[in-house]
Structure 1
Amino acid sequence: MTACMLYLLFFFPLFWFNFRQAQMGNDTYNSLTLQLEGLRITETNKYPIFIFLLLAYVFIFIANVGIVLLIWSDRSLHQPMYLLFCNLSINDVIGNSLLVPRVLADILVPPSERLMHYYECVMQAFTTHMFSTNAHTVLMTMAFDRYVAICNPLRYSTIMNDKMVIKLTVSAWGVAFVLVGILLGLTIRLNRCRTMIMNPYCDNASLFKLSCESVFINNVYGLTFTVVLLSSSIGSIVLTYSKITVACLTGKSKSLNSKAFKTCSTHLCLYLMMLVSGMILITLHRFPQYAEYRKISAILFNVVPGSLNPVIYGLQSQEINKCLSNIFHLRKVKPTI
């Protein structure tokens, strides 16, 4: 009897601990409710950050939608250059609309209440990666348009017809959709044993880190995905702009060279801004001690390009400036009696 009592006293805590661990494991195994870590901000900084992100999102929405409506309504802007740019504006609106409002809502609630459904998290991760991937593919199509316009001006209208614009647009969105679809598909297949998203929003890396299974395939495809996308993007930009530079240096038309410089400098500025902000985010992933800076840069990676794209492109484009000035001039003119 004494031996039995000692046996129970010794092993009962171990049995109870294992039972509780198994119970907790069942609660978190493939749980559909996830918790976001979000931004770690103080009460003092909470409202200034909230107001800044809110104003930035409102500006992104109004500026990009305004550019799209202006290009759509004015027939003089129905040119391949502006029609392709509409894809970038639409991409900025969609990407930020499914990200910033959720971040704003999480800022106002305690960390323990920042909950998200798994399928909502997957959708947000898909949109996030579509946003960044599509930005590269759209800018690649815009680079091709500038190359044809400057290096083959006499054949520009023949090459860049309506069918070609549609093909480039479908290719830009289709390639991004397939690449990101495979990326998220490899992650969805994994079983989950954790529920904490160590990020202010959901992305592919945050999702597959919830799994206790091997993520070797995910890492290999993710690395291949990044290398192929950046190599294609940087390679196409370097190739097209090298040929554009040669064409401008050998050409004798000063007006054509001046117009080429304006449009190409604008496009190159948009590309470099997106590339640098993305490189900063990738670099900060390698330094866990700067986790909070990484979170902030992840949000700014979406907000900053979306805010500056319509400003930079709109200010540099004479046609868009002319249309805007005509609209505001008509509004200022009042009928006289």
Structure 2
Amino acid sequence: MENESFDITSELTLDPFFIPPGGKYPIFFLGIAIYIFIVFCNLTLLTVIIVRKNLHKPMYFILFNLPLNDLIGITAMLPKVMSDIVTETNKVYYPLCVLQAFLLHMYGGGVLFILAAMSFDRYVAICMPLRYSSIMSPRAVIIIVSLVWGLDLVLIVSLFSLQTRNPRCRSVIMNVFCDNPSLLKLTCGNTTLNNIIGLFNTAVMQAVSVSIQVFSYVKILITCVASRRSETKVKAVNTCVAQLVIILIFQIVGTFTILSHRLKNVSADLQKIMGMLIFLVPPLLNPLVYGLYTSEIRTTLMTILRRSRVSV
């Protein structure tokens, strides 16, 4: 049994997909096309928020973090997977594997906390509109965003700091990308503490995110039902639909991913594909959903397109 320490020259082997003959390059080009499209859509959303002064509001300052987080997740995962498919190397240095896993887990926690922050912003805007400017002041928004990334970073660092506790005695990652469970399976020591910290961190992320979202949207619903003004109801629908759709997308994809690893009759390749969807589907759909359901972003994009056509 080989006992390895943290060595920048040590290589791990990733377990590849089964790809039928002739399927390597079509899959590669499809994956690269998806990656380019995701990057383009999210960069477009980021650019629009930056350059358009009418979007320099607390809601969009918080929203800005969502496509940024999506770019971190998709870039940490997809290019490496596509590269391994076309080169058939399926090798990764251990530190780079840890870095990939770290970024992917940061992405997952980031989605939960950002959605929670966005739901709180909508709660204040709809339930306390007269106090919105004072509550969601620039200083308060900076504090909220700092808490989003700070709490995410602390939880993920605490999780990965335990990776060096135990020696490694295996070198095969049973996945097409690196994540904490896969890295944990490489160790030959006692991983009880790692599992406890991992479960605790997951519980904290879900509890904080879900409780804030449930509180916010229940309050919004109560406000809408109690209000006699149709404008309030229309505003609530227009500002919350996009966020609720994104929450549902993330939770549904995450649920299918978890179930695929729990059911015995699911093939290993299907499990790998399902594991990738959590990093593919939300970054693909998030900017499209916001482009369709958020009137200010939709109007801004249409204005930019009209001006571009006129100039051409």
Structure 2 residue 195 is matched with structure 1 residue 223: no
Q: TM-score, normalised by structure 2?
A: 0.95
* Aligned equivalent of 1:55: 33
Structure 2 residue 4 is matched with structure 1 residue 29: yes
Matched AA of 2:166: L
Rg bigger for which structure? Answer: 1
* Aligned equivalent of 1:69: 47
* Aligned equivalent of 2:295: 318
The structure 1 segments of at least 4 consecutive aligned residues displaced by more than 4 Å after TM superposition are none
5+ residue gaps, structure 2: none
Cα contact 1:38–1:201 (8 A) shared by 2 = no
Is the deviation greater in 89-98 or in 282-291?
Answer: 282-291
Tell me the distance in 2 between the aligned counterparts of 1:178 and 1:130.
10
Tell me the distance in 2 between the aligned counterparts of 1:311 and 1:334.
25
Tell me the distance in 2 between the aligned counterparts of 1:132 and 1:285.
17
Tell me the distance in 2 between the aligned counterparts of 1:188 and 1:267.
38
Structure 2 residue 245 is matched with structure 1 residue 269: yes
5+ residue gaps, structure 1: 1-24
* Aligned equivalent of 1:5: none
Matched AA of 1:240: S
Tell me the distance in 1 between the aligned counterparts of 2:264 and 2:172.
16
Report how far residue 315 of structure 1 moved.
1.0
Report how far residue 189 of structure 1 moved.
2.0
Alignment of 1:169-180 (within 5 A): 169-180=145-156
* Aligned equivalent of 1:328: 305
Match of 2:208 among 229, 232, 245: 232
Tell me the distance in 2 between the aligned counterparts of 1:107 and 1:265.
38
Deviations 1:75-130 (A, max 9, x none): 000011111111000001111112110000011133xx211100000000000100
* Aligned equivalent of 1:162: 138
SS, match of residue 108 in structure 1: helix
Cα contact 2:238–2:295 (8 A) shared by 1 = no
* Aligned equivalent of 1:197: 173
Cα contact 1:190–1:208 (8 A) shared by 2 = no
Alignment of 1:138-153 (within 5 A): 138-153=114-129
Is the deviation greater in 308-317 or in 214-223?
Answer: 214-223
Structure 2 residue 257 is matched with structure 1 residue 295: no
Match of 2:106 among 130, 141, 153: 130
With over 3 angstroms needed to count, the CA separation of the structure-2 counterparts of 1:43 and 1:263, relative to structure 1, is: farther
Percent identity, aligned pairs only, is 37
Cα contact 1:141–1:172 (8 A) shared by 2 = yes
Deviations 1:41-84 (A, max 9, x none): 22243333223221211111111111111111110000111111
* Aligned equivalent of 2:74: 96
Matched AA of 1:47: Y
SS, match of residue 200 in structure 1: coil
Cα contact 2:13–2:92 (8 A) shared by 1 = yes
* Aligned equivalent of 1:8: none
Q: TM-score, normalised by structure 1?
A: 0.88
With over 3 angstroms needed to count, the CA separation of the structure-2 counterparts of 1:150 and 1:157, relative to structure 1, is: same
Is the deviation greater in 185-194 or in 38-47?
Answer: 38-47
Is the deviation greater in 182-191 or in 203-212?
Answer: 182-191
Alignment of 1:250-269 (within 5 A): 250-269=226-245
Deviations 1:8-43 (A, max 9, x none): xxxxxxxxxxxxxxxxx34x6346211111322222
Matched AA of 1:333: V
Matched AA of 2:174: M
Matched AA of 2:157: G
